[in-house]
């Protein structure tokens, strides 16, 4: 019985091994056909883009930070109590808007007193003028001695000087009264209030709030001394346009131009301070933000361009898949140049008219059969 069982076991083992070998042969044979493009191989549908020539701009990219063109602390020029805050914290204001009022009663009283003094001195001036006019005719006829006439003339001149002093006092009182109204010196955005109603302000030491200008805004960056020559060449030809992108943005929403390059290169870093002025009508850029700035410093004519989305990266470098004459994916190692939106210049590796595979890249490999889709 043991010999029979052993024979059955051996026969069963042989059957299992044979089935496994047959399964393996069947499993590996079909993919081999597909990989080599044999009969029945599946062709992956892929979108394609023709390599074309066009003129593209040349950009220099830098990390940057936004800065306010004007950023001031609002302070009182006259002492007094804060009577009212007219604009809420953080609001946008226009030049000339009333922001704060300081108690004006003392300054209104000083103005009224100065005006009254001016009226009194004006009356004295009128009397002095009348005395001189009467004295002139009397002196010419001999009824008024010379000394008395000169005294009247002196009184007239003193009255005129008193009028000038009184007018200056009125002007000074008007200015001090105007200082009780703190208005926006330029359009911008208020910060956090720092002086509540009732606070006693001291000139030069009490800050009510801060005001920053947001439109336009500065974007400051540090090009290297190597790039400086390129930038100066571009400036010599005209305005250098600039685009600003915030972190996470793919397209530039903020544009302006390069307006300042410093006059000294930092010895420690080999960089120089530069600044662009950027339009910020929506006031989305705030001072102190990190950003990326691109300067358009020239153009590259007849550049071969391909979609950036079609570029792959491997151990050997950047590559593109090109559809060959047999409708197979051919890997081409490429050298890339400047970018222009969603396109990138290809310096080496492709020719004009080549069909670049721009989609389904994760589903193909070198030599894979593909079915180019018609352009949309």
Q: Locate the domains of the chain by residue range.
A: 2-39, 52-67+216-373
Taking 60 as the threshold, does the pLDDT of residue 332 lie above it? yes
Which class would CATH give 52-67+216-373?
A: mainly beta
Residue with tokens 């042989």: 14
Percent of the chain whose pLDDT exceeds 70? 85
118 contacts 167 by C-beta, under 8 angstroms:
yes
The contacts of residue 282 (CB under 8 Å, 6+ apart) are none
Write down the pLDDT at residue 157. Answer: 85
Write down the pLDDT at residue 14. Answer: 39
Write down the pLDDT at residue 257. Answer: 97
Task: Convert the pLDDT of each residue in 181-192 to its tens digit.
Answer: 999 999 999 999
Taking 60 as the threshold, does the pLDDT of residue 36 lie above it? no
What are the CA-CA distances from residue 89 to residues 84, 274, 352, 366 (Å)?
13, 33, 59, 62
Distance between CA atoms of 240 and 299, rounded to whole angstroms? 12
Residue with tokens 């040349």: 58
In three-state form (DSSP H/G/I as H, E/B as E, the rest C), the secondary structure along 104-161 is CHHHHHHHHHHHHHHHHHHHHHHHHHHHHHHHHHHHHHCCCCHHHHHHHHHHHHHHHH
More reliable by pLDDT, 39 or 340: 340
| Residue 204 pLDDT level (bands cut at 50, 70, 90) | confident
227-233: long-range contacts, CB 8 A cutoff, minimum separation 24 = 227/60, 228/261, 228/265, 228/272, 230/60, 230/297, 230/298, 231/60, 231/258, 231/261, 231/274, 231/295, 231/297, 232/261, 233/297
Q: What is the mean pLDDT of the chain?
A: 86
Task: Convert the pLDDT of each residue in 78-113 to its tens digit.
Answer: 999 999 999 999 999 999 999 999 999 999 999 999
Taking 70 as the threshold, does the pLDDT of residue 371 lie above it? yes
Q: What does the angle CA 209 – CA 71 – CA 284 come to, to the nearest 5 degrees? A: 95
């Amino acid at each position: 019985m043991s010999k029979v069982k052993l024979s059955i076991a051996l026969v069963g083992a042989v059957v299992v091994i044979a089935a496994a070998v047959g399964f393996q042969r069947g499993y590996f044979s079909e993919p081999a056909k597909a990989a080599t493009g044999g009969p029945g191989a599946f062709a992956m549908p892929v979108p394609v883009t023709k390599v074309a020539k066009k003129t593209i701009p040349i950009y220099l990219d830098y990390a940057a930070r936004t800065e306010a063109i004007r950023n001031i602390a609002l302070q009182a020029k006259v002492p007094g109590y804060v009577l009212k805050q007219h604009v809420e914290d953080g609001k946008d204001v226009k030049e000339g808007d009333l922001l704060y009022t300081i108690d004006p009663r003392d300054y209104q009283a000083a103005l009224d007193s100065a005006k009254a003094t001016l009226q009194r001195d004006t009356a004295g001036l009128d009397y002095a003028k009348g005395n001189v006019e009467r004295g002139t005719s009397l002196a010419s006829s001999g009824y008024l001695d010379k000394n008395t006439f000169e005294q009247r003339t002196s009184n007239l001149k003193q009255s005129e000087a008193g009028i000038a002093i009184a007018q200056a006092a009125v002007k000074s009182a008007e200015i001090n009264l105007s200082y009780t109204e703190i208005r926006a010196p330029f359009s911008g955005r208020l910060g956090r209030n720092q002086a509540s109603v009732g606070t006693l302000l001291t000139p030069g030491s009490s800050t009510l709030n801060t005001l920053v200008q947001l439109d336009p805004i500065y974007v400051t960056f540090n090009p290297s001394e190597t790039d400086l020559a390129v930038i100066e060449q571009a400036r010599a030809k005209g305005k250098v346009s600039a685009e600003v992108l915030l972190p996470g943005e793919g397209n530039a929403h903020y544009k302006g131009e390069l307006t300042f390059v410093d006059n000294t290169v930092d010895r420690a870093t080999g960089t120089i301070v530069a600044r662009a002025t950027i339009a910020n009508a929506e006031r989305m850029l705030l001072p102190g933000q990190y950003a990326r700035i691109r300067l358009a410093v020239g153009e590259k004519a007849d550049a071969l361009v391909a979609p950036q989305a079609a570029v792959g990266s491997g151990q050997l470098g950047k590559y593109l898949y090109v559809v060959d004459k047999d409708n197979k994916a051919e890997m081409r190692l490429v050298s890339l140049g400047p970018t222009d939106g969603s396109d990138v210049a290809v310096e080496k590796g492709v020719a004009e008219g080549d069909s670049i595979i721009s989609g389904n890249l994760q589903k193909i490999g070198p030599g894979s059969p593909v079915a180019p889709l018609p352009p949309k």
